[in-house]
Structure 1
């Protein structure tokens, strides 16, 4: 089934909540221009985009993703990715291991598209995605944020989020428990807070 498309219905409520509970995040919200987080409505696209973005900078990931879209004919299409060759991967700038993951996801794209993700619990979503080769907690968090539009995700394994929270606290490194404690007041809209932490450093909105 299609995943949500467009701005999350809870977005404005999230901004109001964050302004109320955390002046630091409120200041960032007021300084950053829209657009908001936007769902693409295609979970396979989001998974593949997140795989491309694993462990590289946002700028590098964006450039490689654009080359992959060119390879697909200009817009995302799982079919060409199923048969992608090592030479194609080299030209695009994708590692062999990521290529294996992309091809594996593309091969089951129809099944992934037909899952009723909106009816699944967080544990069920993780249980569906984690067994896929090359898909780990960070990628799953990106899928939950950008495809499923889950309002309360804190990707503690995202170095950008960690560095931003350390900057707000004025000390580093922070332990995992300290990061989670700092983000506690953002509940139930931690996704929105994370989005604005990313946005304050990226001129273009992060999109997977």
Structure 2
């Protein structure tokens, strides 16, 4: 499993520039994370989870895997109808978008996106229905592992950021003052903010002051 140790260049760089983030990273420690099993699964997961909680998205994926005899590969998805996919708990539009993605994956090598610059990955993916900036951000961050992705449109990141800094990340002034400190390692900062939310720090401690009190 990939791990970001506290003595990694990116963590040390961020720790020197942002004391709040430094305390959060020290509190969490080395950050282990998993990678989606394929480019198709990464994009499909984002399509499924759009506008849903992580728990709801996982439940739908579990039902979809059951419908597809254990795994929802492009080959399996094109064989079943959008109506069958919808029965797993998603909207018909999402089901249709998932089928379009599967058809695209069978005719194009999604893994080849790994050699393209960030901007070209965006340009390639947003041509597909159901894929916008948020999905591209998730793909670049969690599948391709690009180092400088900051998905400011993501509700979970917004929640964790406001907990840690007491201000909204959507503010242009905040982005220029705080988020600019993270470049070129915004992805590592984002991963630690997501982890703070996922392990319950944001819920358990209403104020992030607990990290340095």
Tell me the TM-score range normalised by the shorter chain.
Answer: 0.7 to 0.9
Give the structure 2 partner of residue 139 of structure 1: 135
Give the structure 2 partner of residue 183 of structure 1: 179
Equivalent position SS for 1:116: helix
TM-score by length of 1: 0.83
Equivalent position SS for 2:50: coil
CA distance in 2, matches of 1:141, 1:100: 22
Q: How does 1:63-102 map to 2 (within 5 A)?
A: 63-102=59-98
Contact 2:162 2:169 in 1 (8 A): yes
Equivalent position SS for 2:139: helix
- Give the root-mean-square deviation of aligned CA atoms: 2.5
- Report which of the two structures shows the higher radius of gyration computed on alpha carbons: 2
5+ long unaligned stretches in structure 1: 1-5
5+ long unaligned stretches in structure 2: 201-213
Give the structure 2 partner of residue 3 of structure 1: none
Residue 98 of structure 1 deviates from its aligned partner by 0.8
1:151 and 2:141 aligned: no
TM-score by length of 2: 0.82
Taking structure 1 as reference, are residues 142 and 31 closer, same or farther at Cα in structure 2, changes over 3 Å only?
A: same
1:108 and 2:104 aligned: yes
CA distance in 1, matches of 2:71, 2:9: 33
